[in-house]
Every structure is written in structure tokens, then in C-alpha cells.
Structure 1
Amino acid sequence: MRQLYASLFYQNKVVDIFSDRALISYLIDVEVALAEAQAELNIIPINASNTIQHVGLTALDKISFDDLAVATGLAGNVVIPFVKQFTALVKEVDEEASRYVHWGATSQDILDTACILQCRDALEIIKSILLTCYQTSLFQADQYRSQVMMGRTWLQQALPITLGHKFARWASAFKHNLDRIEEIEKRVFVAQLGGAVGSLASLGKDGTVVVQTFAQKLQLSPPVCTWHGERDRIVEIGSILALITGNLGKMARDWSLLMQTEISEVLEPSAQGRGGSSTMPHKRNPVAAASVLAAANLVPALMSSLYQSMIHEHERGLGGWHAEWLSLPEIFKLTAGALEQTFAVLKDMEVDVEHMHLNLERTNGLVMAEAVMMALAPSLGRLNAHHIVEKACQQAVAEGIHLKTIISQMDAVKAHFSDHQINEIFDPTSYLGNIQDQIDAVLQEAKEE
């Protein structure tokens, strides 16, 4: 991603986690942990481990990234040239210790484990932003729980809802995503150490205990079985991110539609230079929604490459693993960026109560037709009530008058309802169903957590 677009689509901390410099830092951490685990088990000399650890403290600033970039293209992955440079740095301090760098491991072990460490740190940031979005949505759900607005289906006015209910639904989606992350952490934050074909034959009988100690050093779970060729963990991480981004895209679609001039019920936060047009001074464009929707458009396409990359050949595959290096970081960065944009809108969304009221009345009461039918049904029967109200709606449209005016003049209605009762039936606040119960349930769930 070009720097010019970074602030529109990305989140800085997650971008840093997936930078070249950060990747090498994670690789160093993995190599050091491997040496420490093996020294603890008397597989390599403790002095060698100490030297490797000591060199690891400053190695990042001594690695030649230009040389790495060239050599990676020749080697097929970054670990091979990285290990050569790292070993050379250790050798400058202690030639004997340099013999034990990367002992028994294969390049995929180091890169897969580093990737899991990246994912763990990036997911922690995403969880944090998700939590703030969840808490903000809860606050807005409570604040606007009684603010009646038009509910829409198939892009048409349907029945009244409240803005608080829309926020409550969004809060519930954020809660689902937080739960999903928590549920997968133990399953996906797993170290990788299998050697050339997953047998760790290079470590003989010590393979299992080395894997366990190695994972412990990195605060990861040890794998029950090598997963070089089974990429479901990577795909599961990406899938959670895709679900998050999809939920955000739905929210952005909603608020961008509500920002349309003809509807104008909410607006994204205003700021100098935000949402303007190069030719139309009057424009107030939904720029945050554009960013979120772009991410929601891109992430599924990137996810398809992760799913396709699950098809590995035998013990270690060709090409599928490599595709992950491009797709997964991009999915993380886009998801975090979309979350940050969404939080900014949730926190400072501008609500136009007057336009919500105007839109409720835009159909001359037609949106209350179901309410009228259900009120009449106990006395007249549902089918007969439906026929009466349908006929009244047709007349209201043809004559351009309010549905309540026609309904209140019908003998079949006047026989059962007073003018006061008819007025109550046409009050949008009287036909909100169990919306308040739902909002209470969402708020209560948060309190119980």
C-alpha cells in the first residue's frame, strides 16, 4: 500500500507489526527461543545459547535489509538469508556458538512461528479496538433507545424502529467477534517446529520435549502434531478477520445510506477537509464508509487466496505457503483500519432527529398499515382487516392524503375504535414490538461480562 493511502485504509500499529523490520525482529525472537529451549535441555551448550541471546538483542540494527531483499528472491523465503546473516553476527562474537544457530529447525518452522507471534500481537490490537467499538455502541444504544426512526427492508420504508436498536444490533455483532477471537486463541496460537518433513529427526529422541519447551519460551501452545502442510490455523485467523470486516461493511453501508441527501438522518463526524468535493462545495461525503466498504470488498478476495492456499503438497507445499505472506498481513491491516474508521464514526456520529421524524411521515402514514391491520384483526379477522387496510392504502396513494384520515372515516373502523385510539395506533412509538427488551438484553449481557 502506498503511503498516500495508509491513513485511509490502515491502522498504524498493525502496519508496524507486519513491517519488514518487525518480521525480522520476530524471526530473531524465535531463533533465540529455540536456542534457549535447547540449552535448557542440554542439547546445545549454555554458552552458545547465551551468546545467541546476547547477539539477538542488537541484531536487528545490524541486519542488512537490502541484502535480505535480494537474497530472498533467490532463496525462496526470507529465513534462509536471515539465518546466514544472523549466524555471521553470532560468529563475530563466538565462532563455536555460531554452529548452534537454527539447530535442528527448518526455515518454515521459524517463519510460521514468527507469523503466529505477529498474529497474536495484531489480534490483541484488533481486540482492543473491537472492545472500544462494542462499548461505544452500547453507550449509543442506551442513549438513542427511544429515538424512533424508519426501519427499512429491501431499501424501502417498512416499519418503525429506534436508532438505539440499530446500535444494539451493531453492539451484538461486535460481541460475537470478540467471543470468536477468544474462542480461537488456544487453537491457533501454536508454535511450529518440525524440521525438514515434520519428524524433527534432526533432534532424535529429544524432538518432543524441545517443541514443548520452545513453545513455552514464546508463550505459545505446543502443537500436538506438526502443521507445515495443514494451514487451517492461518485460514481460521483470516476467517475471523473477514467476519469482522464483513460486519463493519454492513454498518458502513447502513450509515452511508442514512447520509444520503434525500434521507439525511445521520452524518459522519465533521472535520476540516473531511468529506469534501473538488468541484461541489456543498458535498458531505461518507469517507469513513468508503474506507470500510473498500476493506469489506477486498478482504473476501484475499481470503479466497488463503482458502486456496490450504491445498499443500505432501509434508511441505509449493506456492500456497508463499501466498499467505501476501494475503494475511493485508487482511490484518485492512481489518484494523476499518475498525479504526468505524470507531470514529460510532463515537461522534451526528444524528438529525428532525429528519428522522420527517421520514417517518413521508408516506402519509402508509408505514403504519400493518399496525392498523393488527389492531383491527381481533375484531374483524386478519384477512378481512388486511383487505380493508389495503383498500385504504390504495385510496390514500391515489388521492394523496394521509392514511389515518381515510381509516378514521371508515364505518368498519369507527365501530370499534375512537379517534383517540386511532391516533394511538398511528403513533410510531406504539408499534416497536420488543425492541426495548432487545436493547435491555444487549446491555445486560455486557454488564454480566
Structure 2
Amino acid sequence: MSQLYASLFYQKDVTEIFSDHALVTYMIKAEVALAKAQAQVDVIPKAAASSIEQVAQTALKDIDFNNLAIATGLSGNIAIPFVKQFTAAVKAVDEDASRYVHWGATSQDILDTACILQARDALYVVERQLQHAYAASLELAEKYRAEVMIGRTWLQQALPITFGHKAARWASSFKRDLDRLEQMKARVLTAQLGGAVGSLASLLDQGSTVVEAYAAQLNLSVPSCTWHGERDRIVEMAGFLAIVVGNTGKMARDWSLMMQTEIAEVFEPTAKGRGGSSTMPHKRNPVAAASVLAAANRVPALMSSIYQSMVQEHERSLGSWHAEWLALPEIFQLCAGALERTVEVLQGLEVNSKNMQRNIETTHGLIMAEAVMMAIAPKMGRLNAHYLVEKACQQAVAEQGHLQDIVSSFAEVKQYFSADELALIFKPESYLGNIQEQIDAVLQEAKGEVK
């Protein structure tokens, strides 16, 4: 990603986690954990593990990244030239210890484990952002629970809702995202150590013991068996991120549509230089929504690559595994970026209650047609009530009158309802169904869980 676009689409902490220097740092952690685990069960000398750990503390500054980049293109993955450089660094300090660097492991063991370590740190950032987004949307749900606005279906005015209900639905999405994240951690944050074909034959009868010690060193789950060729953990993780991006994309679509000039019900937060046009001084563009929606557009394409990478050959793949290296980091970065923009908007959203009320009146009462029909139906039957109200709607449109005035002139209605009763039926606040109960349920679910 160009640095010029990074601040628009990405989030700096997650971008750093997936930087070249960070990847090598995570690979060094995996190599140290491997050596310490093997020394713990007497597979390699403890002195060798100690030297490897000591060298690792300053190894990053000795890595020749230019050489590493060139060698990666020749060797097919970064682990092979990395291990050569790291081994050379250990040899310069302790030649005997250098013989035990990367002992019994294969390149994919180190790269997969480094990937999981990256993912763990990045998921922590995503989780923190989700908590902020959840808290902000809950606050909106509580504050605007009684703020009546128009609900829209197929982009058309439908029935009244409240803005608090819309925010409660957003909050509910974030709660499910947080639940998904917590549930998948034990499955996906798992160490990888299998050797050439997953058998760890090079460790003789100590393979399982080393894997357990290795996972413990890194505070990762212990796999029941190696997963070189089975990529469902990566897919589940990426799929979770894609769901989060999709959820934020839905919200961004909502608030960007509500920012349209003719609607103007909410606005993204203002800041100097934000949301302007290069040619139209009057514009206030939904720039955060644009970033989020771009991520929601991009991530499904990347997910296609991740899903296709599941189909691998035998014990270790040719090309499929490699495709993850490009797709997964970008999905993480786009997800964190989309969340960062969403949190900014939710925490600083400007709500225009006056325009919400104005838009409710745009149809001159037509949005209350269902409410009128359901009120009349017990008196004359649903089908007859539907016919009567449909006729009234057509007349109101033709005459550009208010539906309440038209309906109140019908003899069939006058015999059952007084003017005051009919006025009550036409109040949007009287036709909100169980919205308040839904908001209560979302707020109750959150008690004690929002940090």
C-alpha cells in the first residue's frame, strides 16, 4: 500500500504489525521458542538455546533486508534466507549453538507460527476497536431511543422507527463480532510445528513433547496435529475480519445515505480539511464512509483468494499457501482501518433531529397507511380495510393532500373513529411496535461487558 493512501484505508498499529521488520521479529520469536522448547526436553543443549536467545535480542539490526528480499525471490519463501542470516549471527557468537538453529523445523513452521503471532497482536487491536465501536453505538442507542425517524426499505420511505433502534442494531452487530472473536481464539491462535511432512520425524520420539513446549513458550494453543495443508484456521480468521468489514460497510452505507443533501439527518464529525471538495466549497462529503465502503468492496475479493487457498496438494502446497501472504495482511489492515473510521464517526456523529422530523412528513401521512389499515381492519376486515386505505392513498397523491384529511372524510372511517382517535393513529410515535423492547434487550445484554 502506498504511504499516501495508508492513512485513508489502514490503521497504523496493524500496519506496523504486518511490516517487513515486524514479520522478521515474529520469526525470530518463533526460532527462540523452538530452541527453548527443545532445550527444555533435552533435544538440544540448554547452552545452545541460551546463546540463540541471547543473539535474538539484537538480531534484527543485523538482518540485511535488501539481501533478504533478493534471496526470498530465489528461494521461494523468506524463511530460508532468514534462517541462513540468523544462523550466521548465532555462529558469530557461539559456533556450536549455531548447529541447533531451526532444529527439526521446516520453513512453513516458522512462517505459519509468525503469522499466528502477528494475527494475535492484530486481533488485539481489532478487539479493542470493536469494544470502542460497541460502546459508542450503545451510547447512541440510549441517547436517541425515542428520536423518531423514517425507516426505509428498498431505499423508499416505509414506516417510522427511531434512530436509537438503528444504533441498537449496529451495537448488536458489534456484540456478535466480539463474541465470534472470543469463540475462535482457541481454534485459530495455534502453534505450527510439523517438520518436512508434518511427522516431526527428525525429532525421533520427542515430537509431541516439543510441540507442547513450543506452544507453551509462545502462549499459543497446542494443535492435535500439524496443519500445514489444512488452512481452515486462516480462513476462519480472515472470514471473521470480512464479517466485521461487512458490518461496518453496512453502517457506512446507512450514514452516508443519511448525509445526502435532501435527507441531511446525520453528519460525520467535522475537522479542518475534512470532507471538502476540490471544486465545490459548499460540499461536506462522507469521507469516512468512502474509506469503509472501499474496504467492504476490496475485502470480498481478497477473501476469494483466501478461500481458494484451502485447496492444497497433499502435505504442503505449491502456491496456495503463498497467496495467503499477500491477502491476509491486507484484510487485517483494511479491517482495522474500517473500524478506526467507524469509531471516529460513531463517537462524533452529528444528529439533526429537525430534519428527521421533516423527512417523516415528506409523504404527507402516507407512511402511516399501514397503521391506519391495521386500526380499521378489526372493524371491517383486513381486505376491505386495505382497499379503503389504498383508495385514500391514491386520492391523497392525486390531490397532493394529507392522508389523514382524506381518510377522515370517508364515511366508513367516521363511524368508527373520532378526529382525535384518528390523529393518534397518525402519530408516528404510536406505531413503533416493540422497538423500545429491542433497544432494552441490546442495552441489557451489554451491561457489565462494555469496557
Same fold (TM over 0.5): yes
Match of 1:444 in 2: 444
Amino acid at match of 1:155: L
Q: Secondary structure at the residue paired with 1:280?
A: coil
Kindly report which structure 2 residues correspond to 1:177-256, keeping only aligned pairs within 5 A, or say none.
177-256=177-256
Q: Secondary structure at the residue paired with 2:58?
A: helix
Match of 2:128 in 1: 128
Q: Secondary structure at the residue paired with 1:283?
A: coil
Distance apart, 1:386 and its partner CA: 0.7
Match of 1:262 in 2: 262
Amino acid at match of 2:76: G
Match of 2:320 in 1: 320
Distance apart, 1:28 and its partner CA: 0.3
Distance apart, 1:448 and its partner CA: 5.3
Amino acid at match of 1:204: L
Amino acid at match of 2:165: H
Q: Does 1:392 align with 2:357?
A: no
Q: Secondary structure at the residue paired with 2:273?
A: coil
Kindly report which structure 2 residues correspond to 1:247-326, keeping only aligned pairs within 5 A, or say none.
247-326=247-326
Amino acid at match of 1:394: Q
- Distance between the aligned counterparts of 1:355 and 1:220, measured in 2? 52
**What percent of counterpart residues are identical?**
68
- Distance between the aligned counterparts of 1:357 and 1:43, measured in 2? 74
Match of 1:30 in 2: 30
Amino acid at match of 1:346: L
Kindly report which structure 2 residues correspond to 1:59-98, keeping only aligned pairs within 5 A, or say none.
59-98=59-98
Q: Secondary structure at the residue paired with 2:48?
A: helix
Distance apart, 1:116 and its partner CA: 0.5
Distance apart, 1:222 and its partner CA: 1.1
Question: Deviations along 1:271-299, whole A, 9 cap, x unmatched?
Answer: 11111101100111000000000000000
- Distance between the aligned counterparts of 2:296 and 2:93, measured in 1? 50
Amino acid at match of 1:172: S
Question: Deviations along 1:76-117, whole A, 9 cap, x unmatched?
Answer: 000100000000000010100000000000000000001001
Q: Secondary structure at the residue paired with 1:261?
A: coil
- Distance between the aligned counterparts of 1:49 and 1:14, measured in 2? 31
Q: Secondary structure at the residue paired with 2:152?
A: strand
- Distance between the aligned counterparts of 2:291 and 2:168, measured in 1? 23
Q: Does 1:176 align with 2:176?
A: yes
Q: Secondary structure at the residue paired with 1:206?
A: helix
- Distance between the aligned counterparts of 1:67 and 1:217, measured in 2? 30
Distance apart, 1:62 and its partner CA: 1.1
Match of 1:49 in 2: 49
Distance apart, 1:356 and its partner CA: 0.6
- Distance between the aligned counterparts of 2:282 and 2:111, measured in 1? 51
Amino acid at match of 1:261: T
Amino acid at match of 1:171: A
Match of 1:140 in 2: 140
- Distance between the aligned counterparts of 1:206 and 1:279, measured in 2? 69
- Distance between the aligned counterparts of 2:13 and 2:273, measured in 1? 24
Give runs of ≥4 in structure 1 deviating > 6 Å.
none
Unaligned runs of 5+ in 2: none
- Distance between the aligned counterparts of 2:408 and 2:83, measured in 1? 84
Distance apart, 1:37 and its partner CA: 0.4
- Work out the number of aligned pairs and report it: 449
Match of 2:351 in 1: 351
Question: Deviations along 1:22-55, whole A, 9 cap, x unmatched?
Answer: 0000000000000000111111111100000000
Kindly report which structure 2 residues correspond to 1:111-122, keeping only aligned pairs within 5 A, or say none.
111-122=111-122
Distance apart, 1:227 and its partner CA: 0.5
Q: Secondary structure at the residue paired with 2:59?
A: helix
Amino acid at match of 2:176: H
- Distance between the aligned counterparts of 2:43 and 2:414, measured in 1? 93
Distance apart, 1:354 and its partner CA: 1.0
Match of 2:7 in 1: 7
Question: Deviations along 1:240-280, whole A, 9 cap, x unmatched?
Answer: 00000001110000110001111111111111111110110
Amino acid at match of 1:13: D
Q: Secondary structure at the residue paired with 1:262?
A: coil
- Distance between the aligned counterparts of 2:417 and 2:327, measured in 1? 63
Distance apart, 1:324 and its partner CA: 0.2
Match of 1:340 in 2: 340
Distance apart, 1:425 and its partner CA: 0.5
- Distance between the aligned counterparts of 2:22 and 2:86, measured in 1? 15
Distance apart, 1:380 and its partner CA: 1.3
- Distance between the aligned counterparts of 2:448 and 2:269, measured in 1? 31
Match of 1:160 in 2: 160
TM-score, normalising length: structure 2: 0.99
Match of 1:374 in 2: 374
Distance apart, 1:207 and its partner CA: 0.5
Amino acid at match of 1:139: E
- Distance between the aligned counterparts of 1:312 and 1:400, measured in 2? 65
- Distance between the aligned counterparts of 2:357 and 2:188, measured in 1? 49
TM-score, normalising length: structure 1: 0.99
